[in-house]
Structure 1
Amino acid sequence: MDKKEQIIKAAMKLLTERGVQATPMSAVAKAANTGMGTIYNYFATKEELINEIYLYIKRSEVHLIAKTMDADSSLKASFFGFYGAMVGFYFKYPESFAFMDQFHSSPIITETTRATGQQDFLPVISLVQQGQKDGIIKEMELDALLHFLAGTITTYVRWMQASGKENDPVYLERQMRLVWDAIKE
């Protein structure tokens, strides 16, 4: 792991545990086992660091999801693959989930950062758009549909974590069927 990634992971952990106000850059430097100068070589401000963590997580999600996307699969199978991969990612990386749960809608995340993160999800967006074009997925504003899907993932993971349950395949299958039934035409 390089210094930049070390800083990102240390900051992610501190920010989710303590919050923005209680996480000074000096605490991040200490947790990352690096100096303040090194941090400022990578990130001019705490807000810039938070936006970079957001993109780091988005890229990690996309990397995992790309492995599940199969052009020869049906739309439903592709959707289930994407949805299951997202849930699996958040169970595998709970600090990433905690960060996104806290910061996804935060005004700290800039519109530029959000747009960049969305660009990384073009394969998933294309999947949804193709489903709409083919009359398989409800015709509604894309942004509303994507927010709905993200909300169902977040709520499901929160519920499973609060219940002390692991990523149980039976519960996940039921969740995916519920969500699929909600978005299909």
Structure 2
Amino acid sequence: MKKQVEDKKAALLEAALKLFTERGFHGTSTAQISKEAGVATGTLFNYFPTKEDLINGLYFEVKGDLSRKMGKDVQTQNTFKEKLRKMWYNLVEWGLDNQEEFLFVGQFCSSPYITSHTREVVMEEYVFFHDLVAEGLANGELGDYPPEMITSMFYQSSRTIVDYILYSEPKDRNKAIEDGFKVVWEGLARK
């Protein structure tokens, strides 16, 4: 029975992701999500009492996956710059491999559905990133900028590189990722 419940919930999240990225939040109804998932609309409300709960639940799932990918093997790097570069590669590659999810995160961050509670819960997943930024500030490798600005610049720059690679199709994907890191590093590093 537990497997069946997990399958229905996963089907709803997958359908919601597909439809939200295709049609936006306002252009997607819960009935459309239920139909796409192959479940009754009432079933959707058993898992997610409101559309906002579904959107936030999907956001938590996607951001959790992203945080696991971003932090992978970062601590095996020797220097602050190498750690930040590894995180950059992880983030950009996740965006390239998970395009719907990457688009969804961008949509959600700009939507009225994101609440202070949602931000707080998600930030708990990214303590490792904030700790790394704090390390860079403390050891003088990053410029004297607000930590929130640094994390935002890092993330938004990754979105730019993902879009560039997807739509410009450069000959050398790794060079594009590295060039993107160089731009970010030169902008954030202490001069």
Would you call these one fold, judging by a TM-score over 0.5?
yes
Distance 2:45 2:8 in 1: 12
Distance 1:71 1:19 in 2: 39
Query: Does the CA contact (< 8 Å) of 1:90 and 1:157 recur in 2?
Result: yes
List per-residue Cα deviations over 1:102-127 (Å, max 9, x = no partner): 22121211111111111101001100
Q: Does 1:77 pair with 2:57?
A: no
Partner residue, 1:50: 55
Which stretches of structure 1, 4 residues or longer, exceed 3 Å deviation after superposition? 164-167
Distance 1:36 1:140 in 2: 48
Change (3 A) 1:120 1:182: same
Q: Does 1:131 pair with 2:151?
A: no
Distance 2:180 2:54 in 1: 34
For structure 1, the 5+ residue unaligned runs are none
CA shift, 1:165, in A, is 4.6
Q: Classify the secondary structure of the residue corresponding to 1:82.
A: helix
Among 36, 39, 57, the alignment partner of 1:34 is 39
Query: Does the CA contact (< 8 Å) of 1:51 and 1:113 recur in 2?
Result: yes
Change (3 A) 1:16 1:79: same
CA RMSD between the two structures: 1.6
List per-residue Cα deviations over 1:21-51 (Å, max 9, x = no partner): 2211011011111121221111111111111
CA shift, 1:166, in A, is 8.1
Q: Classify the secondary structure of the residue corresponding to 2:149.
A: helix
List per-residue Cα deviations over 1:152-171 (Å, max 9, x = no partner): 11112122222145880011
Distance 2:71 2:153 in 1: 21
CA shift, 1:144, in A, is 1.3
Partner residue, 1:18: 23
Greater share of helix residues, 1 or 2?
2
Q: Does 1:90 pair with 2:91?
A: no
Change (3 A) 1:39 1:86: same
CA shift, 1:135, in A, is 0.6
Distance 2:171 2:26 in 1: 32
Partner residue, 1:104: 109
Q: TM-score, normalised on structure 2? A: 0.91
Q: Does 1:68 pair with 2:73?
A: yes
Distance 1:13 1:165 in 2: 27
Output the amino acid matched with 1:184.
Answer: A
Aligned residues: 185
CA shift, 1:2, in A, is 2.6
For structure 2, the 5+ residue unaligned runs are 1-5
Partner residue, 2:166: 161
Partner residue, 2:181: 176
Among 143, 146, 150, the alignment partner of 1:141 is 146
Partner residue, 2:3: none
Distance 1:97 1:166 in 2: 22
Q: Name which structure has the greater RCO, CA cutoff 8 Å, separation 6+.
A: 1
Distance 1:161 1:167 in 2: 12
